[in-house]
Amino acid sequence: MISEAVKNLLISNNLTLAAAESCTGGMVSEIITSVPGASKYFLASCVTYSYDSKTNLIGVSKETLMQHGAVSIETAAEMASGIRKVTGADIGISTTGIAGPDGGTDLKPVGTVCFGVDYKGRIITKKEVFKGDRDSIRKQSSAYVLDLLINAVED
């Protein structure tokens, strides 16, 4: 189970985590907190759906949002860094994307999701396009960002 893997990795490395979510709407945080003891390493989460919440709560720049949009690796990077800085966590993770069924474009179709991991200032970003319905895209995205987190710590 990925939640147990995250727990074991963070506890064994004495690391703390915070999450900034958009398209996953709290699903990542739900997975993390589904195991007992999450309070030892999980500090906070923030669901930042709107541009204003991204800028006001976690410090994503308006310029980044205007230039690249909410669904971009640039925004994902700033979300991960912002939540890490706001909470004082060792690691910040983020998800931002288009879960559908509406909202897709030719350049950013439904299923496009961008991810960020800020591990003590080292930023990793990824962009993926998932297939499926809204729930499936959200589940795939949640699992993906947690895998990305595990890989960042293990590297």
Stated pTM of the model: 0.97
Reported as a pLDDT band with limits 50, 70 and 90, residue 154 is very high
Say if residue 150's pLDDT is above 90: yes
Rg, C-alpha atoms of the chain: 14
Reported as a pLDDT band with limits 50, 70 and 90, residue 155 is confident
For residue 29, give the CATH number of its domain.
3.90.950.20
Q: What is the mean pLDDT of residues 121-137?
A: 97
| Cβ atoms of 54 and 65 closer than 8 Å | yes
pLDDT score, position 129: 98
Q: Which helix (H) or strand (E) holds 18?
A: strand 17-21
Q: What is the mean pLDDT of residues 6-11?
A: 98
Task: Return the SS3 of 57.
Answer: helix
Inter-CA distances, 75 with 69, 114, 116, 125, Å: 7, 8, 8, 10
| Amino acid, single-letter form, for residue 147 | D
pLDDT score, position 142: 98
Pairing of strands 42-47, 17-21: parallel
Say if residue 8's pLDDT is above 90: yes
**Residue in the structure block whose two tokens are 């939640």:** 3
| Cβ atoms of 116 and 123 closer than 8 Å | yes
Helices (H) and strands (E) in the chain, counts: 6, 5
Domain with 105, as residue range(s), is 2-154
* Residues 6+ positions from 51 with CB-CB distance below 8 Å: 62, 65, 70
**Number of domains forming the structure of the chain:** 1
Reported as a pLDDT band with limits 50, 70 and 90, residue 70 is very high
